[in-house]
Amino acid sequence: MTLLLDLGFHALRSAYRAGTLDVTRTIEEVLKRIAAAGDDRVWISRATDAALREAAHRLDARRGELERLPLYGVPFAVKDNIDVAGLPTTAACPGFAYDAGESAEAVQRLVEAGAIVVGKTNLDQFATGLVGVRSPYGVPRNPFDPSFVPGGSSSGSAVAVAAGLVSFSLGTDTAGSGRVPAGFNNIVGLKPTPGLVSISGVVPACRSLDCVSVFALSCADADVVLKVLAEPQACAGIGQKFRFGVLRARDAEFFGDEAYATLYSQSIGRLEALGGTPVQFDYAPFREAAQLLYGGPWVAERTSAVGAFIEAADEGAGVWPVTRDIVLGGREYSAVDAFEGQYELAELKTRARAEMAGLDFLALPTAGTIYRVADLEREPVLFNSHLGHYTNFVNFFGLSALAMPAGFRPDGMPFGVTLIGRAHSERALLEFGTRWQRAVPLPLGRTVSQLPPAGEDPTVTEDRVSIAVVGAHMSGLPLNGQLIELGGRLERSGRTAPLYRFYALPGGPPQRPGLVRVAEDGATIELEVWSLPAVQVGAFLRSIPAPLGLGSVSLDDGSSVAGFLCEGYATAGARDITATGGWRAYLKGM
């Protein structure tokens, strides 16, 4: 297989711009690689060679639109539980197959941005599994050692990227299917916040938890795809100094894999070297939530999705026996079980939120170990559940996650870590992931692709510090210009935790409020989170007059940022305006 052509986004785009490469040549190289790979069990169906060449010719005729199309001439693959117009959707079950009349919204967005669908990839049937072996279409060949599982359920999508057959691919992630295959194939796996990317045109597994995920060789490439798939919310970045959650010794489970345990410890050390402070947290609420996915009433949601088909299917339909048992097991749960499960999950969410308070992200092993294909023939259910030990809870809690390569065992099999952040922290994770990939030099998949130069990487950003403002520095108010002049950027609006009293201070103009943390009778107060370049924070501090200053402000999502606080002595004689809920509301009522 010839791997001289770098299919990374930056390499392709630079060559297209320079006129040294056209899309037709890119597609010819993709076809050559697919042919050289032989029967790798990656594909369930493919666009015909003629159709791919025609798509390439059409894009070559549109070269003048290169700057308008962020994915111009980029080949990609789609997990075969996501509709692509003109190709069948099987969900890895021949008897379930149907012809897709139109593409899923996610696929359509990518094609409109200039990307080319090469084909549909293999998966654990009905996206039920984390192993990648539950398919009548065979086991996609792990490019590092075919005797090991490729990871599932998005097995073919991950292998297609790691083997250099396409530039990126779409998977889905309900229980970890967009992360475990990334870890086992030495690539990046982005699992967005549930609901951020449309699941229209996706065969449901657990509809309330399903996400479309992205596999790529680099965080820079995943970032470009994310911006096409959705409009990520602004979020504060992860600074040069950060706090990250790590497993306590009694919570760390590697199922006897000492090499993976060592690699996880090394990853913690690398995060420390990047400026992080590790903080041990209690994994119990996360572990208990993970167990609900296959040991609780959410199995019934899988039954709702495809149970009727499986029950009616004959032997020729190709239903995988383990998949049948799992999906139809949902019939055992009652409506009472469903409600009790919701109550239990709500309690676990509260506990988990408390554990994540003050942390920028959790750093977990993507999986505790990797198994051989033969191991799964012996223990198809237990070993699959082991692979979800660090993944199953994430969508339950509405979080975002980024799986990244983190090293290799002595036998050459990849190990990965996953950064788990709050809802809508995708871009912050990708920016940090770029720093990680540059600091931890590893091959990209099993290719010769290279990271884009730092100066041209869209995810490389300056170090910025988040600052919460509650008064005259808010958008449109008299002192907001001070932030803008120093390079300030509005990241998001929000509220404090219910721990504060709010006062209108004497003096002015401009009038200023004072935010004071209290031990009791606190309330939530409206605020805005801005970010400043780290080099400008000192200048901003010098502009703040007493009795105001910067301290740690707790937010209602459990996080904390630097923000305006007032010294308690200054509230004597000041008007308590806590009941208004914020400075804008107070000004409006004057």
For residue 1, what pLDDT band results from cuts at 50, 70 and 90? Answer: very low
More confident residue, 238 or 271: 271
Instruction: Considering the candidates 45, 103, 135, 153, report the single residue annotated as catalytic.
Output: 153
For residue 462, what pLDDT band results from cuts at 50, 70 and 90? Answer: low
Contact 294, 333 (CB under 8 A): no
pLDDT, tens digit, 9 for 90 and up, residues 392-413? 999 999 999 999 999 999 999 9
Residues whose CB falls within 8 Å of the CB of residue 383, separated by 6 or more in sequence, listed in order? 131, 371, 375, 376
**Position 313 pLDDT exceeds 60:** yes
For residue 476, what pLDDT band results from cuts at 50, 70 and 90? Answer: confident
pLDDT, tens digit, 9 for 90 and up, residues 83-139? 999 999 999 999 999 999 999 999 999 999 999 999 999 999 999 999 999 999 999
Instruction: Considering the candidates 177, 213, 218, 267, report the single residue annotated as catalytic.
Output: 177
3-state SS assignment for residue 439: helix
Whether 169 sits among the annotated catalytic residues: the reply is no
pTM to 2 decimal places: 0.81
Instruction: Considering the candidates 45, 79, 135, 157, report the single residue annotated as catalytic.
Output: 79
Contact 526, 564 (CB under 8 A): no
Percent of the chain with pLDDT over 70: 98
Per-residue pLDDT averaged across 326-350, rounded?
94
**Position 281 pLDDT exceeds 50:** yes
CATH tag, 464-589: 3.10.490.10
Do the strands 188-191 and 500-504 form a parallel or antiparallel pair, or are they unpaired? unpaired
Whether omega before 547 lies within 30 degrees of 0, making that bond cis, reads yes
DSSP calls for 135-167: -TT-----TT-TTB---SSSHHHHHHHHTTSSS
Whole-angstrom distance, CA of residue 124 vs CA of residue 79: 10
Per-residue pLDDT averaged across 308-331, rounded?
92
- Domain map (residue ranges) of the chain: 9-234+257-292+325-456, 464-589
CA-wise closest residue to 185 among 219, 222, 138, 148 = 148
Contact 86, 100 (CB under 8 A): yes
pLDDT, tens digit, 9 for 90 and up, residues 565-583? 999 898 888 999 999 999 9
Beta strand segments in 293-446, E: 361-365, 400-408, 414-421
Would you state the structure tokens that stand for residue 510, as one six-digit string? Answer: 């401009």
- Residue 181's Cβ-count burial label (10 Å; 0-12, 13-18, 19+) is buried
Distances (CA, A) of 525 to 468, 494, 556: 11, 8, 10
Beta strand segments in 160-271, E: 168-173, 188-191, 211-216, 242-247
**Position 2 pLDDT exceeds 50:** no
Per-residue pLDDT averaged across 524-536, rounded?
89
3-state SS assignment for residue 44: strand
Per-residue pLDDT averaged across 372-388, rounded?
95
DSSP calls for 456-516: G-TT----EEEEEE-STTSTTSTTHHHHHHTT-EEEEEEEB-S-EEEEE-S--SSP-EEEE
Whole-angstrom distance, CA of residue 240 vs CA of residue 532: 13
Whether 475 sits among the annotated catalytic residues: the reply is no
Element (H or E) spanning 548, and its range? strand 548-554
More confident residue, 485 or 365: 365
In the chain, the amino acid numbered 571 is: T
Contact 224, 70 (CB under 8 A): yes
- Residue 443's Cβ-count burial label (10 Å; 0-12, 13-18, 19+) is middle
9-234+257-292+325-456: which CATH number, 3.40.50.300, 3.40.190.10, 1.10.150.120, 3.90.1300.10? 3.90.1300.10
N-terminal to C-terminal alpha carbon distance within the chain: 73
**Position 390 pLDDT exceeds 80:** yes
Per-residue pLDDT averaged across 287-312, rounded?
92
143-162 burial: b if 16+ Cβ within 10 Å, else e: bbeeebbbbbbbbbbbbbbb
Whether 167 sits among the annotated catalytic residues: the reply is no
Contact 105, 201 (CB under 8 A): yes
More confident residue, 433 or 539: 433
pLDDT, tens digit, 9 for 90 and up, residues 6-46? 999 999 999 999 999 999 999 999 999 999 999 999 999 99
Phi, psi for residue 362 in degrees, rounded to 5: -95, 140
How large is the angle between the packed helices 426-439 and 258-273, nearest 10 degrees? 100
Q: How many CB atoms lie within 10 A of CB 235?
A: 22
Question: What is the residue whose two structure tokens read 């290719």?
Answer: 447
- Residue 531's Cβ-count burial label (10 Å; 0-12, 13-18, 19+) is buried
DSSP calls for 323-349: HHHHHHGGGG--HHHHHHHHHHHHHHH
**Position 50 pLDDT exceeds 90:** yes
For residue 491, what pLDDT band results from cuts at 50, 70 and 90? Answer: confident
pLDDT, tens digit, 9 for 90 and up, residues 150-205? 999 999 999 999 999 999 999 999 999 999 999 999 999 999 999 999 999 999 99
Give the mean pLDDT of the chain. 94
User: How many CA within 13 A on the CB side of residue 57?
Assistant: 6
Whole-angstrom distance, CA of residue 311 vs CA of residue 324: 8
Per-residue pLDDT averaged across 344-348, rounded?
96
